[in-house]
Structure 1
Amino acid sequence: MTTSRPNFKPLRILLSEGTSTSAREAVTVLGLAGHVVDVCDPAGAGLARFSRFVRTYHRCPGMRENPLGFLRFIENLLATGDYDVLLPIHEQGFLFARVQERLIPLAGLALPSFASYRAAHSKAGFSRMLSELGLPQPETRIVAGADALRAAVRFPCVIKTTIGTASRGVWVVRDDADLALAMRELEAGNGFAGEVLVQARVAGATEKAQGVFCRGELVGFHATRQIMEGAGGGDAIKRGVRRDRVRDDLAAIGRHLAWHGALSIDFIMPDDDSGPFYIDCNPRLVEPMAAWLAGIDLVDLLLRISLGETPEVAPATREGVVTHQAIQVLLGSAQRGGSRRGLLRICRDIWCRGGDYVGSTEELTPVRMDWLSAVPLVMTAVLLLVSPGLSHVLAKRGWGQHLLDARTVATIESEAF
């Protein structure tokens, strides 16, 4: 898929981080469209560093430990006048929404009000919003404190802190042993300082939908079903699906929040089609290559909205488009106890497009179009073949300084910020 707009002019894009899978896929979409891409990230070797599409990789202060230093770094770069659009690809949107009046004069930026962003970013806030809108979710209780949590638990369930992404702050609890582990980790991580959600476990397939909004109106939409789970519950293999009801519900959420920019939701679709049951919200794009391969460039829509345009509503994407992330496949297999021989077989099948990968397209490390992306893929494969037990360590490398925690959220929300 390539851009077909007349009089296309490459834009100069500043991407707010380069460690996440979403950032790496956005780099590919932007690069294939011909845009100039610079990346900010505190990590020395984020995924986006290994791409021929990245012009400059700026090492910056970590947002989690130093949100003000990170903001000043971004402002200084934008003040040079070298960028047309600031693209908040991950949780940096929380910070940027808080101070967007300072950023908008420096570059194009598409974000809702801070109040709307905060409502979508908080798991408790999202649950309350679903109740207000009458949209389906698993049976949910929002509690504060260890005693209230114990009283609310009914096996099986899922416990979540109100702040957390990339599967941080989420525990699947099936029995007393799982509950004891969750309680210990909540205590150790000061998780009881805020609200905690207890949700009934719903059986079914995990699906995701994402859209781009222009002043509260949905202009682009794509949904996928998880076919194979990767590390931390992420999608190792996914398939595009048609979900008209989810599109309508996402549109309702966006209108309620007067959303401007990208918004994604996770949901469970039971086998009897009694769903969907909405379980999470991410106020951003999530891994946009699958949508791009299915016929819609959500990143381009986001750029156009950032520049003040009002794009027409995009047509529906193609169903059945299957994509995979080789790194996630390898990490997920190793975490499930896969052997070295099994990992070698996966590497062969992925490269030869055999087995589970017949008809599937690599979305995270597209080696055939961006040879530098082979570096993190090969390193991951080699390390796992040496020691499959390293999978948990490697997966946690994605939980970097570009992500928020409760303390950082409180700092950004404070009047003094």
Structure 2
Amino acid sequence: MMTSSPNFKPLRILLSEGTSTSAREAVTVLGLAGHVVDVCDPAAAGLARFSRFVRMYHRCPGMRDDPLGFLRFIDGLLATGDYDVLLPIHEQGFLFAKVQERLRPLAGLALPSFESYRIAHSKAGFRRMLSELGLPQPETQIVASADTLRAAVRFPCVIKTAIGTASRGVWMVCNDADLALVMKELEAGNGFAGEVLVQAHVTGATEKAQGVFCRGELVGFHAYRQIMEGAGGGDAIKRSVRRERVRDDLATIGRHLAWHGALSIDFIMPDDDSGPFYIDCNPRLVESMAAWLAGVDLVDLLLRVSMGETPDVAPAAREGVVTHQAMQALLGSAHRGRDRHDLLRICCDIGCRRGDYAGSTEELTPVRVDWFSAVPLVMTALLLLVSPRLSHALVKRGWGQHLLDAGAVAAIENEMF
């Protein structure tokens, strides 16, 4: 376990959201490091509320429906002078990047320019940037109407809206029936008001990489392979990997965007090692505990950058470190149609660290160091054992007011604040 230096001074952190898995894992890393953590979130019972490391949990307006109200709430907290760093762990960075000159006098903050953030946040913007840089990606077309979408589709393919996270607005399309369902959802949700991507399906393993940048230079990096998929495209089990090519490509992207702060990318590694093929970008730090357990403290690097430091480049992470999220494993298994007996067996396997979970460490709800994290885990397990079909409703609860949609993005872009 990592330890603090003798001259360590705890920082007072305001985490801008507490519902996502990324926020929950950041709380653990920050708490184990000895920092003081406060969280604001519109949900009454976000994941981060159930942690002994959280000092205060502030209920706030939802950013998606009321970005101005959310910003005023953050302004009010920061104006008290109680915080050293504002940590935009999720899509709040889009709003904060727009008004960062207003926020920086109040607390440390690591974000790139708003224009760079917009490019990384939009799947269409990311696709165009990859083309500009000559970096590998699946064959992709950008369309803006139902007719051009139908003409572009070649089965199998992946259809994506330009704005969406946590697998919202992403569909795997294998036949005409799948396409008809996607068209119905796009038209019902006014999906054609923005750009839609049609991307060729690439067979291979899903992998992800995370980086922290200081004024365009990569100072920390971690990559892992998805071993088991959870609910909503999340990772139930992951294993750290070495990916020097991906590290170089991520450094190229960060340098091109003059990135400042955290940046993550998803990619496919085909079985014939012809990849990587980059498929998505998240302008934030995603689920940082796996990197921490592999020996790279990306959260600490992000704090140092936020405070204006220029940290040394972190050493490479250890390869082969396996971690899991019990909640994701249960939700994903129920989502795929497993029954109560299957779920009970998975609970036993996780508790005894056997089968798929042998040699793996829990990263989302680390009960051994944070007993309070057992609350959402136990509640999820009990609900799924009562009715596995509840997985669909439980997954949708994570798509809360802390996430942006196309309407909220447009409002933030056009608002003068």
Partner-residue secondary structure (3-state), 1:141:
strand
**Residue 6 of structure 1: how far off its partner (Å):** 3.9
Q: What is aligned with 2:300?
A: 300
Q: What is aligned with 1:230?
A: 230
Distance 1:369 1:189 in 2: 42
Counterpart contact for 2:263–2:283, Cα < 8 Å: yes
- Structure 1 counterpart of 2:409, which letter? V
Q: What is aligned with 1:21?
A: 21
**Does 1:100 find its partner at 2:106?**
no
Q: CA RMSD in A?
A: 0.6
Q: What is aligned with 2:72?
A: 72
* Deviations, residues 63-109 of structure 1 (Å, cap 9, x unaligned): 00000000000000000000000000000000000000000000000
Distance 2:56 2:328 in 1: 26
Q: What is aligned with 1:160?
A: 160
Partner-residue secondary structure (3-state), 2:150:
helix
Q: What is aligned with 2:219?
A: 219
Partner-residue secondary structure (3-state), 1:218:
strand
- Structure 1 counterpart of 2:405, which letter? D
Distance 2:126 2:3 in 1: 35
Q: What is aligned with 1:170?
A: 170
* Deviations, residues 48-68 of structure 1 (Å, cap 9, x unaligned): 000000000000000000000
Partner-residue secondary structure (3-state), 1:219:
strand
Q: What is aligned with 2:201?
A: 201
Partner-residue secondary structure (3-state), 1:171:
strand
Partner-residue secondary structure (3-state), 1:124:
helix
Partner-residue secondary structure (3-state), 2:172:
strand
Q: What is aligned with 1:55?
A: 55
Q: What is aligned with 2:123?
A: 123
* Deviations, residues 146-201 of structure 1 (Å, cap 9, x unaligned): 11111110000000000000000001000000000000000111110000000000
Q: What is aligned with 1:335?
A: 335
- Structure 2 counterpart of 1:199, which letter? Q
* Deviations, residues 335-382 of structure 1 (Å, cap 9, x unaligned): 111110110001011011111111000000001110110000000000
**Residue 3 of structure 1: how far off its partner (Å):** 3.4
Distance 1:243 1:133 in 2: 19
What TM-score, normalized to structure 1?
0.99
* Deviations, residues 191-226 of structure 1 (Å, cap 9, x unaligned): 100000000000000000000000000000000000
Q: What is aligned with 1:384?
A: 384
**Residue 416 of structure 1: how far off its partner (Å):** 3.3
Distance 1:376 1:188 in 2: 33
Moved over 2 A (4+): 1-6
Alignment of 1:238-387 (within 5 A): 238-387=238-387
Partner-residue secondary structure (3-state), 1:165:
coil
Distance 1:350 1:18 in 2: 25
Distance 2:125 2:9 in 1: 40
**Does 1:5 find its partner at 2:5?**
yes
- Structure 1 counterpart of 2:373, which letter? S
- Structure 2 counterpart of 1:295, which letter? G
Q: What is aligned with 1:141?
A: 141
Distance 2:354 2:151 in 1: 49
* Deviations, residues 113-162 of structure 1 (Å, cap 9, x unaligned): 00000000000000000000000000000011111111110000000000
**Residue 5 of structure 1: how far off its partner (Å):** 3.0
Q: What is aligned with 1:399?
A: 399
Distance 1:130 1:3 in 2: 38
Partner-residue secondary structure (3-state), 2:65:
coil
Partner-residue secondary structure (3-state), 1:367:
coil
Distance 1:111 1:163 in 2: 19
Q: What is aligned with 2:181?
A: 181
**Residue 232 of structure 1: how far off its partner (Å):** 1.1
Partner-residue secondary structure (3-state), 1:409:
helix
Distance 2:371 2:193 in 1: 45
Partner-residue secondary structure (3-state), 1:39:
strand
**Does 1:113 find its partner at 2:113?**
yes
**Residue 415 of structure 1: how far off its partner (Å):** 4.8
- Structure 1 counterpart of 2:144, which letter? A
Counterpart contact for 2:219–2:313, Cα < 8 Å: yes
- Structure 1 counterpart of 2:68, which letter? L
**Residue 2 of structure 1: how far off its partner (Å):** 2.3
**Residue 16 of structure 1: how far off its partner (Å):** 0.3
Distance 1:363 1:259 in 2: 27
Partner-residue secondary structure (3-state), 1:238:
strand
Distance 1:240 1:363 in 2: 13
